[in-house]
Amino acid sequence: MALIVPSILSADFAQLGEQVRAAQAGGADRLHVDVMDGRFVPNITVGPLVMEAVRRHTTLPLEAHLMIVEPERYVEDFARAGADLLIVHQEASPHLHRTIQRIQRLGKRAGVAINPATPLAMLQEILGDVDLVLCMTVNPGFSGQDFISGMLPKIERLRAMIQQHGARCDLEVDGGIQTQSAPVAVRAGANVLVAGSAVYGDADGAAAGIARLRAALA
Ligand code: DX5
Ligand code: ZN
């Protein structure tokens, strides 16, 4: 079964602790914190302080999705704030190999994300070194966007590439994951699904949103 990772970007930030606990109680596998700087992406969200606050309300593993320029400058801060997995964008880190090493030397898992327009070839030389590849299925910046179904063949090719390399990394997808897109993304080869609005936008609460996603995958 694919892992379900709620993104707190769609949560009610005025009640963040409660929203984090609701996702854990509802059976989330880990939690996703979207860090945006207004430069790599048009939006600005949260920093290590909020990661630290989330950490206090859950025992689940936390992932930091760093949508920021020069992510290498901040990996120590997010690791210290409680992130277990740090994901940097290939497009934002010219010395990606060094950044990945730095994260792993901190004792954390390291992931690399690519935008919809970035070719898989950009991962060729790093695939064997990372713990996770994040294939964006929307252009990063906002929750609630539509899943780009043109990414499905890319997910299939990425799964094949991981197998060819004998790599053991996770294949995560992020953006527009709903009950319709979740099963097709998994069929294409994803084994970790980030979901923002499908979880926190559910009128019956986060647990219901997670349950609906799991039912769609069954
Ligand atoms: C988008 C973020 C996503 C976002 C997903 O830039 O990286 O993690 O929160 O939200 P949904 O699931 O609503 O597309
Ligand atoms: Zn994200």
Is ligand 1 within 6 A of the CB of residue 8?
Answer: no
Q: Which residue among 13, 34, 41, 65 is best mutated to probe the pocket of ligand 1, counting the most ligand atoms within 8 A of its Cβ?
A: 34
Q: Which ligand is nearest to the CA of 140?
A: 1
Yes or no: say if 188 and 156 are a contact pair by the CB < 8 Å rule: yes
Nearest to 110 by CA among 133, 136, 78, 140: 133
Q: Per the structure block, which two tokens stand in for 175?
A: 């953006």
201 lines ligand 1 (CB under 6 A): no
Q: Which pLDDT does position 161 carry in this prediction?
A: 97
> What is the band of 46 on the pLDDT scale with cuts at 50, 70, 90?
very high
Please, which pLDDT band fits residue 116 given cuts at 50, 70 and 90? very high
- DSSP classification of residue 188: H
DSSP state of 71: G
Nearest to 189 by CA among 156, 153, 154: 156
Average pLDDT, the chain: 98
pLDDT band at 213 (very low <50, low <70, confident <90, very high): very high
- Positions marked active-site: 34, 174
Which ligand 1 atom is nearest residue 41's CA?
A: 6
Ligand 1: nearest atom to the Cα of 144: 13
- In this prediction the pTM is 0.98
Atom of ligand 1 nearest to the CA of 175: 14
